[in-house]
């Protein structure tokens, strides 16, 4: 890889900024000052330092975002704000994309990465990766609804869902509403909202709280994000069952 690209991908700014660093003789490769951006290095074998500090190369980035309502789960849109617009410019050269989609009015856990292989694993319909949602429902979810979830709900278009899990957290008879946790293993369009509609009720608030081994970090306010910890990354890679 070119030295300037390597430095830029490792957080040392644009090519122009990197050029300046090189010109100032602040970069060394294997203890030799290098001033040429097109100098070729091996990201595995060569040791690069900037002002004496070793540079760690990061090929992939994994961001855990608490998606706020009102933004699209897309990389770009000519009119509306997307989840990528929420991310700081320091990550712009990573070409991040969201792993799957949440509706515009849904909030909660959304993984952003540039790791295509992991994304493929997590979204593959064959892998049945579990996702759990907290939902506020207009109406009272019943034991019959729980049974229906367990059996596999048939949506309004006739398509059948895999068995899911419905846990009722709170029933508010006075306001005719309930709070529930819904776990599903697929990702059909508007799936949770349509499953609840099939029970004759309506989702009025939806938030994803888990995806596979990942859990929403409740210290993140909607719109905030952080990189996955090493532990979270390892668990995510390890938990993936065979395809």
Shortest CB 105 distance to ligand URA, Å = 8
The active-site residue out of 103, 138, 179, 217 is: 103
Instruction: Please say which residue, 6 or 133, places its beta carbon nearer to ligand URA.
Output: 133
**What SS3 class is residue 27?**
strand
Q: What are phi and psi of 6, to 5 degrees?
A: -55, -45
Distance in angstroms (rounded) separating the CA atoms of residues 182 and 176: 19
Distance in angstroms (rounded) separating the CA atoms of residues 225 and 86: 9
Other Cβ atoms within 10 Å of 43 Cβ, number: 14
179 noted as active-site residue: no
Shortest CB 153 distance to ligand URA, Å = 12
Shortest CB 49 distance to ligand URA, Å = 45
Instruction: Please say which residue, 191 or 210, places its beta carbon nearer to ligand URA.
Output: 191
- End-to-end, the C-alpha distance of the chain in Å comes to 33
Instruction: Please say which residue, 18 or 192, places its beta carbon nearer to ligand URA.
Output: 192
Q: Where are the beta strands (DSSP E) in 39-138?
A: 48-50, 53-54, 62-67, 97-98, 107-113, 131-138
Shortest CB 35 distance to ligand URA, Å = 50
Cross-strand bridge partners of residue 110 = 65
CB within 8 Å of 78: residues ≥ 6 apart: none
Shortest CB 21 distance to ligand URA, Å = 43
Instruction: Please say which residue, 48 or 184, places its beta carbon nearer to ligand URA.
Output: 184
**Eight-state DSSP code of residue 133:** E
Helix pair 230-239, 116-123: axis angle to 10 deg = 50
Q: How far is CA 160 from the centre of its chain?
A: 27
Q: Which residues bind ligand URA (CB under 6 A)?
A: 102-103, 106, 190-193, 206
Instruction: Please say which residue, 37 or 164, places its beta carbon nearer to ligand URA.
Output: 164
**Residues designated catalytic:** 103
């Amino acid at each position: 890889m070119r030295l300037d690209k390597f430095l830029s991908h490792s957080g040392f700014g644009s090519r122009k900024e990197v050029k300046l660093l090189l010109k100032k003789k602040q970069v060394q490769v294997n203890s030799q000052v290098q001033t040429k951006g097109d100098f070729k290095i091996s990201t595995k074998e060569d040791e690069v330092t900037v002002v004496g500090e070793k540079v760690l190369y990061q090929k992939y980035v994994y961001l855990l975002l608490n998606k706020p309502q009102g933004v699209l789960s897309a990389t770009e849109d000519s009119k509306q704000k997307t989840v990528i617009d929420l991310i700081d410019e320091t990550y712009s050269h990573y070409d991040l994309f969201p792993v799957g989609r949440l509706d515009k009015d849904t909030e909660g856990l959304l993984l952003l990465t540039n790791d295509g292989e992991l994304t493929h694993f997590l979204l593959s319909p064959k892998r049945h990766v579990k996702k759990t949602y907290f939902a506020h429902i207009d109406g009272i979810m019943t034991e019959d609804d729980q049974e229906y979830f367990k059996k596999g709900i048939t949506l309004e278009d006739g398509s059948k869902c895999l068995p899911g899990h419905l846990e009722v957290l709170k029933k508010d008879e006075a306001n005719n509403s309930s709070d529930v946790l819904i776990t599903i293993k697929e990702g059909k369009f508007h799936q949770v909202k349509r499953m609840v509609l099939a029970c004759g009720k309506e989702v009025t608030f939806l938030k994803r709280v888990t995806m596979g081994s990942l859990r929403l970090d409740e210290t993140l306010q909607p719109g905030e994000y952080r990189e996955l910890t090493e532990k979270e990354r390892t668990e995510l890679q390890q938990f993936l069952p065979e395809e």
